[in-house]
Amino acid sequence: MWSEFGKRMASHSGIGELMDDLGRAMAGQADMLMLGGGNPAGIPAVQEVWRQDMAALLEDADRFDRIMCHYDTPQGNTRFLAAVAKLFRDQYGWEIGPENVAVTNSSQNAYFMLLNMLAGQCEDGSQKKILLPVAPEYIGYADQGLSDDMFVACKPVITEIGDHEFKYHVDFDNLVIGDDIGAVCVSRPTNPTGNVLTDEEVQRLAAMTKERGIPLLIDSAYGAPFPNIIFGDVTPFWDEHVILTLSLSKLGLPGTRTGVVIASEEVIKAVASANAIISLASGNIGQALVVSHMESGRILKLSREIVRPFYEKRLHQALGWVDESFDKSLPWRLHTCEGALFLWLWCRDMPIDSCEFYERLKKRGVLVVPGHYFFYGLGDDWPHRHECIRINYSQPEATVREGLRIIAEEMRTVYG
């Protein structure tokens, strides 16, 4: 019945399982402790901003009708595009204009288009791939390729810190960008680990890709300058061969499905063309709600003074609950959380794999994400990939605290 494309889209995927669990939990399974999805927290002060903006939009009948009753251009709303370009020119001195910006129906949608435009079967008969310089990497890329084996991933260097902490680093000594690589892709902060590539690491990757004449994709869905869920000082990076993507989701607007792409004019024209083919145009509501904040620069203040402190407080609370519940004699470690919404738990030498651990936790009413989904593109079955789970610490305090208690209790049972 299905074409090759149909088979890929209809088959089981990690991101499908994650979103199904998320949807069921959010739809009323009150007994489930949802620590698995990437749904952002509801931050009261931020939600109030969007409610006020929506109320103002409803009061302006002419503007409301224009937004609701008309398509924007396939590239995006012209006012919004200009506002994004001006923000980055003013803040970082980037030489970009509206022609360097496009809007997509989420950054997830942007990556479906970009990854398949940059890799796969080429006109000359070659097969290009996407290089992930440090695994694990975002689960949402894994099943987006329309060709087999689209991704090549590199194992990280692992630094163990103290008794129960660790951190991944790019293994530049063994990072090779071969002739079959069409682009390099990183998330910053990295989903699932909360790892944040340093400015030096990003600049080094940018230099390597520029020398090879290929794009560097930087996924900043959680990053700077908005929503700025980064717990240290980093500088957003862009160059003519860099494709930077951002999102409004973690600003508390996941339902608007609004992604932003900053790239060369050539790439932006390609994204706009793909938008027209796939969607006609992108949604208007997210752009309409945020555009005045983009123009005034308030989006940076909102991110810096409300969004980031909220998540930083939640992280410290979660780490305190880990310290309260987890057995110090067991060989577990948490990745250093430098950003995003997640704790990345490594259960070294666990007698069962992360899938079975996930199922055991699910039966006890706790939803996490088994770690093996994030290690696609590796050439061998590295044991480490079966020893990790992702935990969302951003949900209500009682949910996170009780979920972590149950995870710790189940770990003690598993290790015996």
pLDDT for res 11: 72
pLDDT reported for residue 7: 76
pLDDT of residue 134: 96
- The answer to whether residues 188 and 223 touch, using CB atoms and an 8 Å cutoff, is yes
Contact (Cβ atoms closer than 8 angstroms) between residue 276 and residue 74: yes
Whole-structure pTM value: 0.94
CB 315 within 8 A of CB 231: yes
Three-state DSSP state, 285: helix
H or E segment and range at residue 332:
strand 332-335
Q: State how far the Cα of 184 lies from the Cα of 118, in Å rounded to an integer.
A: 10
Quick one: which H or E segment has residue 115? helix 107-118
- What pLDDT shows up at residue 244? 98
Q: What is the pLDDT of residue 19?
A: 64
Cα–Cα distance, 141 to 153 (Å, whole number):
12
> Distance between CA atoms of 412 and 410, rounded to whole angstroms?
5
Q: Which domains does the chain have, with CATH numbers?
A: 4-46+302-415 (3.90.1150.10), 71-298 (3.40.640.10)
Q: What is the pLDDT of residue 23?
A: 62
Distance, CA of 179 to chain centre: 27
CB 197 within 8 A of CB 309: no
Reading the chain (416 residues) residue by residue, the pLDDT tens digits are 777 777 777 776 666 665 666 566 555 555 789 998 888 999 999 999 999 999 999 999 999 999 999 999 999 999 999 999 999 999 999 999 999 999 999 999 999 999 999 999 998 888 999 999 999 999 999 989 888 889 999 999 999 999 999 999 999 999 999 999 999 999 999 999 999 999 999 999 999 999 999 999 999 999 999 999 999 999 999 999 999 999 999 999 999 999 999 999 999 999 999 999 999 999 999 999 999 999 999 999 999 999 999 999 999 999 999 999 999 999 999 999 999 999 999 999 999 999 999 999 999 999 999 999 999 999 888 999 999 999 999 999 999 999 999 999 999 999 98
Q: Which residues contact 283 (CB under 8 A, 6 or more apart)?
A: 105, 256, 257, 258
